[in-house]
Amino acid sequence: MTKCILATGGAGYIGSHTTVELLRAGHSVVILDNFENSARDALASIPKIAGGGKIWLAEGDVRNARLVADVIQRHSVDAVIHFAGKKAVGESVADPLLYYHDNITGALSVLSAMRGTGCKRLVFSSSATVYGDVKMLPIPETAPTCSSNPYGRTKLMIEEIIDDFVASTDDFGALSLRYFNPVGAHPSGFIGESPIGTPNNLFPFIAQTAAGMRDMVQIFGNDYETRDGTGSRDYIHVVDLARGHVAAVEHLLSQTTNILPHRKVNLGTGKGHTVLEVLNTFSKVCGFQIPHRIVPRRPGDVGLSLADPSLAFGLFNWRAELGLDEMCRDHWRFQAATNEPRGRRRTRLGAEARWANRVWEDFESLGIAEGRNALA
């Protein structure tokens, strides 16, 4: 079953890993991205890592519904995975209108383009943040939802918009995937996440401390009701997460019934790790102890978050396979490669044009058809 998948935000952290896995599964991929939080040159690695495959790039904004419809039509897209959007919790608190505007408009644009073109399979990037401070552990999809910040509320609102849209159509199928804590990088070391500025999340902060870019890791609280008192999370390797998308989209595409529900599905491992466990494992893979100290709890943090991942296995036969060792090893490999004096990747939007030009040349030599001018 070879299909053409549109990945909005496909140049980003999760989108790029998913594109690799889609290509490896034999699908072709169109990436629509405006590079506001990703680098063009990371894309050049994708066909190398995937070992080939058909990939196109449309540079532009997902909020432009005509552009999305044009891309869907030109490439006869069978399904859309909608990753594109803003994702920083703190920024969403500081500028909620930006988040409501961008994330909701992006989703509306994707849905209206799909309606207009007859493309009827959608996978949406949701988040475990929709569960807020739920007390049910592990968390099933039936747990009550309630988000404590504007970013999380955009995810809840979009899930509801998709509910209403699916209810209004006959044979539109959608899955919202609620990711727990995505971490790690591709084992090749070529793609991974490079947060701009000081990272808020644990893994990038540890990695940057190990790389000497930060003095020490602050552990936010050691008085939670967990094994060692530090906060516990369900970390999931980004490659496992990417494979979950392939399984999800193939499941949707295999459905032939007329009435398809909009399912919300957790993507997690069902295993929790505390901050100290992550720190010790990361120290083990780096080969030295990463400096750290205990500080008071971070406001708004929950002590424990853990997925019940059984629905994903029941629905599309997916379960996470990689453990904490692989998450730390691959995250560190990417961080270490990024720190090479002549880093071989990762310029961000706004970097010098000479870089961008060289990258576009790389695309051509790799056979990536570049459609930004034709489509934007």
DSSP alpha helix (H) spans, the chain = 13-24, 40-50, 65-74, 89-94, 96-99, 105-117, 150-168, 202-210, 238-254, 275-286, 310-316, 324-338, 353-366, 372-375
Instruction: Give the span between the Cα atoms of 29 and 52, in whole angstroms.
Output: 12
Tokens of residue 249, six digits:
């989209």
Nearer to ligand NAD, 214 or 245 (CB): 245
CB of 3 to ligand UD1, least distance (A): 29
Give CA 350 to chain center in angstroms. Answer: 22
**One residue of 28, 45, 92, 127 binding ligand NAD per CB under 6 A:** 127
Residue 38 lies near ligand NAD (rule: CB under 6 A): yes
Stretch in the footprint of ligand NAD (CB under 6 A) among 5-13, 276-284, 293-301, 320-328? 5-13
Q: What kind and span of H or E run contains 179?
A: strand 173-179
When CB distances are held under 5 to 8 angstroms depending on the partner's kind, the choice from ligand UD1, ligand NAD, none that residue 219 binds is: ligand UD1
Nearer to ligand NAD, 63 or 264 (CB): 63
Instruction: Give the span between the Cα atoms of 101 and 311, in whole angstroms.
Output: 32
Residue 309 lies near ligand NAD (rule: CB under 6 A): no
Instruction: Give the span between the Cα atoms of 63 and 85, in whole angstroms.
Output: 10
57 strand-pairing partners: 31, 370
DSSP at 131: G
When CB distances are held under 5 to 8 angstroms depending on the partner's kind, the choice from ligand UD1, ligand NAD, none that residue 68 binds is: none
CB of 25 to ligand UD1, least distance (A): 25
Three-state DSSP class for residue 101? helix
CB of 239 to ligand NAD, least distance (A): 13
**One residue of 3, 17, 40, 233 binding ligand UD1 per CB under 6 A:** 233
Residue 99 lies near ligand NAD (rule: CB under 6 A): no
Nearer to ligand NAD, 34 or 305 (CB): 34
Strands 79-82 and 121-127: parallel
Cβ-proximal residue to ligand UD1, closest one: 231
Name the active-site residue from 13, 99, 131, 151: 151
CB of 220 to ligand UD1, least distance (A): 4
Contact 59, 372 (CB under 8 A): yes
**One residue of 62, 162, 175, 219 binding ligand UD1 per CB under 6 A:** 219
Phi, psi dihedral angles at 6 (to 5 degrees): -90, 120
**One residue of 301, 325, 340, 364 binding ligand UD1 per CB under 6 A:** 301
Nearer to ligand NAD, 181 or 281 (CB): 181
Strands 273-274 and 232-233: antiparallel
Nearer to ligand UD1, 64 or 305 (CB): 305
Quick check: is 151 catalytic? yes
Tokens of residue 50, six digits:
């995937």
Q: Which residues bind ligand NAD (CB under 6 A)?
A: 9, 11-15, 33-38, 61-63, 83-85, 87, 102, 106, 125, 127, 179, 182
